[in-house]
Structure 1
Amino acid sequence: MAYGKEVTELKIVCAWCGKDRGSKDGEGLTGTTHSICPDCKKKHFPKNRKMAKGQDAQQG
């Protein structure tokens, strides 16, 4: 372990289901942050998926 360099890491978990999504450099912070996993995004926000593809949300 290098002296003078503090190990910092943020653990990322899905705020909806709690699934571990990995980790990233905490830039001086340690702890947990929240995001949304692809499965929960599809399940809970289906309109956003259609709009992101450039489709009109009113079309079936």
Structure 2
Amino acid sequence: MKKVIDEMTCELDALSAVRQTNRDSYRRQLYLFDCLSLMVWAGMEGAEDSTREKGPQ
């Protein structure tokens, strides 16, 4: 019986380790996405500003 419990504990440990790495990569993806969307947004703002400054020709 103890061997079975040990194996289950091992599997649970592995699961929590996998969950932790998933959580870290999810955080990293969110951070990257935030940076990218900020860059894109800033780029779009810049483009709008330059078209606004030129005005109708």
Q: What is the TM-score normalised by the length of structure 1?
A: 0.25
Greater RCO structure (CA 8 Å; 6+ sep): 1
Q: Scaled by the length of structure 2, what TM-score is found? A: 0.25
Quick check: which has more Rg, 1 or 2? 2
